[in-house]
Amino acid sequence: MSFAYSEGNPVEDTSRLHKPPFDTNRLDRLMEEAKLDALLVTSKHSIQYLLGGYRFFFYDYMDAHGLSRYLPFFIYVKGRPLDSGYVGAPMERYEKQLGSFWVSNLNLKNYVSTGYAGAAAELLKDVKAAKGRIGIEVGFMPIDAYRVLEEQLPDANLVDATYTLEILRALKTPEELKILREASEKVVDSMLAVISKHGPGTSKLTLFDALRQEETARGLKFEYALTNVGTAFNRAPYDKIWEDGETLALDSGGNYKGYIGDVCRMAYTREPDQELIDLLGQVETVQQAARRNLRPGTRGGDIFEDANDALAKCSVSNKMFFSAHGMGIVSHEAPWLMSTAVPNYPAHHRDQPLQEGMVISIETELHHTERGFIKLEDTVAITANGCEGFGDHGRGWNIAGR
């Protein structure tokens, strides 16, 4: 593989320069609250957001390269959005020629983590913002790069800004909501296609690969699938066969234009009996109860109160579990609603009012020792007047081979 540059590339498109694709006033307020003077952003998801959806194609799958890694930096100074900068790899020069960057301060010369960090420190010095409280994403900062920043920014206090950047993304724009809607719809369509083409005798490995192919064919990047067949409560892909009379749960996340559609739908090998209809009906009852009061101003914790009221009326409540978490560019982003979630984090928004533009995944699962794993998971957006479910079709028993 050669990394030599090709000349004769398209003429650089500068039409996007100086047009921040996010709410800079909101970011400045959040930085003021956190007493941050500047940001050195290194996570792919935060950079994607701050660059308006950009993610370098070459390292989209893996960051490792030779003995080091790809480590881009986005630089932002509070109150000075036009001083923003980006540090990337030499091959991102092709993206520059296509007008992919709105920032004009660019350094695209690095192939090792320490080089990226050094270039970011120099850019911060160039815009005279190399002192004060500088926010970094601690969980996305390798130690060799951190040491370079410490050495080259002696007047800076490097502090964790992960929370500030996550809160910034909590309120989705109409365009973001449109992408999330399409992502969810495409995931459900992919699940229904898999169910219609497969039936008893199919292995979980085959179902997993089929779902990957269906999501890819619809323009999604397949991220994960948790599959469960019957009473084998193991959702990893392996050689377990889907037998006649067993339930199938497909729980998958498909990434569309950088945003995750995450839903779960159910299937059965033939027409369901009344017990199965009733069991899935109880799961659906809890799901709808959780939505009942979702609107701007509702306290985040009210989701659980409404769901628990419905759970208390279910005949199999002792085997049912309800959870809710934020969704967007990454799974379990803000709003954070429960401290017992996996992964674990403080339930910051449990006692806070929900806001228009927040997106929540709500999920109810039933672990029935005789009928199997039964679950629904939905992606729901808070709208001006209430809420809207994305990809809301296929909620009943979908019949194999139909």
Question: pLDDT confidence of 261, banded at 50, 70, 90?
Answer: very high
The DSSP code for 72 is -
Mean pLDDT of the chain: 94
67 or 2, higher pLDDT: 67
384: enclosing H helix or E strand? none
Report the distance separating Cα 49 and Cα 106, nearest Å: 17
**Count of residues making up the chain:** 402
Confidence of residue 359 (pLDDT cuts 50, 70, 90): very high
Residue keyed to tokens 């930096």: 73
So what's the pLDDT on residue 4?
Answer: 47
Evaluate whether 336 touches 354 at the Cβ level (below 8 Å): no
Give the model confidence (pLDDT) of 181-240 as tens digits.
Answer: 999 999 999 999 999 999 999 999 999 999 999 999 999 999 999 999 999 999 999 999
Percentage of residues of the chain with pLDDT beyond 70: 96
Tokens 């190399």 sit at which residue? 130
Phi, psi of 87 (to 5 degrees): -115, 125
Contact predicate 250/194, CB 8 Å: yes
Phi, psi of 136 (to 5 degrees): -130, 165
Name the burial class of residue 351, with classes exposed (0-12), middle (13-18) and buried (19+) by CB atoms within 10 angstroms of its CB: exposed
Split at pLDDT 50, 70, 90, the class of 327 is very high
Q: What angle do CA 293, 294, 299 make, to 5 degrees?
A: 85
Tell me, what's the pLDDT at 402? Answer: 87
Per cent of the chain over pLDDT 90 is 94
Average pLDDT, stretch 276-302? 97
CATH no. of 24-168: 3.40.350.10
Average pLDDT over residues 24-30: 98
With a cut of 70, say whether residue 8 has pLDDT above it.
Answer: no
- Tell me how many degrees the CA angle 53-346-143 measures, rounded to the nearest 5: 60
Class in CATH terms, 174-399? alpha beta
Q: Confidence band (pLDDT; 50, 70, 90) for 342?
A: confident
Q: What is the pLDDT of residue 61?
A: 87
Secondary structure of 100-154 as H, E, C letters: CCCCCEEECCCCCHHHHHHHHHHHHHHCCCCCEEEEECHHHCCHHHHHHHHHHCC
As given in the structure block, the two tokens for residue 298 are: 């509702």
The residues spanned by each domain of the chain are: 24-168, 174-399
Q: Let me know if 340 is exposed, middle or buried by CB neighbors in 10 A (0-12, 13-18, 19+).
A: exposed
Query: pLDDT category, 7, cuts 50, 70, 90?
Result: very low
Instruction: Tell me if the bond preceding 21 is cis, omega within 30° of 0.
Output: no
Burial class (CB in 10 A: 0-12, 13-18, 19+), 336: buried
DSSP per-residue letters across 168-185:
HTTS--HHHHHHHHHHHH
The whole-number average pLDDT for the span 57-70 is: 93
- Report, in angstroms and rounded to the nearest whole number, the Rg of the chain calculated over CA atoms: 23
Residue 54 has pLDDT above 50, yes or no: yes
Q: Does an H or E element contain 211, and which?
A: helix 204-217
Residues 384-402: what's their mean pLDDT?
96
pLDDT value of position 5: 45
Structure tokens at 312: 């208390």
pLDDT at 260: 97
How does DSSP classify residue 81?
G
Report whether 321 contacts 162 (CB < 8 A).
no
CB 14, CB 99: distance < 8 Å:
yes
Question: For residue 280, what pLDDT band results from cuts at 50, 70 and 90?
Answer: very high
